[in-house]
Amino acid sequence: MKLIIQSIIEHLTLGFLFLYTHFMNQVLASPLIGKTDPSPVEVLHGNKPSDMVLVCEHAGRAIPKTLGSLGVSAEVLNSHRGWDIGAEMVARQIANLLEAPLVIQHYSRLVIDCNRPPLTPQSIPFESDHAHIPANIAACQSEKADRVKAIFDPMNAAIKRLFETPRRAAFSIHSFTPEMDGKSRPWQAGFLTRASLGTAESLITSIAKRHPELELAINAPYTIDNETDWFIPHYAETLGLAHCLIEIRNDQIDHPEGAKFWAELLAEAITELMESLP
């Protein structure tokens, strides 16, 4: 009888330990990205033998369910603060037209900006164009590290994998707001680079030939910087590729016809550039 009771106690103890370990694993793992959240990264044409890699880091405006709304309004999230309006539509069409690999990142840059070096002050911003982001102000270091691990790292790994195949060019597709701090931005598109000026000039020449009415600029409305960029400094410049970060004003591409217009224009310009490369 004593042995039976002892055996029951041992089994109950083991059962409790199993349940406790299982529960703790669940708690410790508590994934930032749940089963019903979108995957952070999508790769289009990943196996195509293309000369180039395309990236759209600010494509999406998803927020992991565990983070709620980040404390921001839908208006802020849906504006240029939350994502690059129209950039994904353009990037997808360029990738399809050129059969080029494209990395698309689905989470809002208010969760983590995937075009910033991870854990630098702008990576998980406290504010964006005068809108505060309460959940980011409150986030501790380990919560920030979770976002890097769950969102930035998979995107970065996807980009890294694509560069295991030798490439000759890299382009990143973004959009910008027509007005910032009361100043209007006249350019329909800007071509950002500091180490591949010839690429920006070639793209502009090609587009201007077809549409001389467009106002195009080099290094406007932004410039490439190690603090505020990731893909261009970390990959395109380091690998010595022809490259450009292409910024399109979002009123040009916030509708399907506009996105199609710019995708076709850029695909033609990129094709001309690629033909001219040694």
Least distance in angstroms from the C-beta of 114 to Zn ion: 9
Strand partners, 262: none
Residue 92 binding Zn ion, by CB under 5 A: no
User: Quick check: helix, strand or coil at residue 70?
Assistant: coil
Residue 80 binding Zn ion, by CB under 5 A: no
In this chain, which of 84, 146, 229, 237 binds Zn ion, going by CB under 5 A?
84
Least distance in angstroms from the C-beta of 189 to Zn ion: 13
Q: Per DSSP, which regions of the chain are E strands?
A: 41-44, 52-56, 102-105, 127-128, 131-132, 169-176, 179-180, 183-184, 189-192, 216-218, 242-249
Residue among 34 and 79 whose Cβ is closer to Zn ion = 79
Residue 61 binding Zn ion, by CB under 5 A: no
Least distance in angstroms from the C-beta of 86 to Zn ion: 11
| CB-based contact 204:273 (threshold 8 Å) | no
Residues whose CB falls within 8 Å of the CB of residue 53, separated by 6 or more in sequence, listed in order: 100, 101, 102, 103, 159, 162, 163, 167, 169, 170, 171, 235
Residue among 13 and 78 whose Cβ is closer to Zn ion = 78
In this chain, which of 32, 52, 58, 72 binds Zn ion, going by CB under 5 A?
58
State which of positions 142-181 bind Zn ion (CB under 5 A): 174
Least distance in angstroms from the C-beta of 209 to Zn ion: 27
Region from 33-41, 77-85, 97-105, 268-276 binding Zn ion, contact rule CB under 5 A: 77-85
* Residues binding Zn ion (CB under 5 A): 58, 84, 174
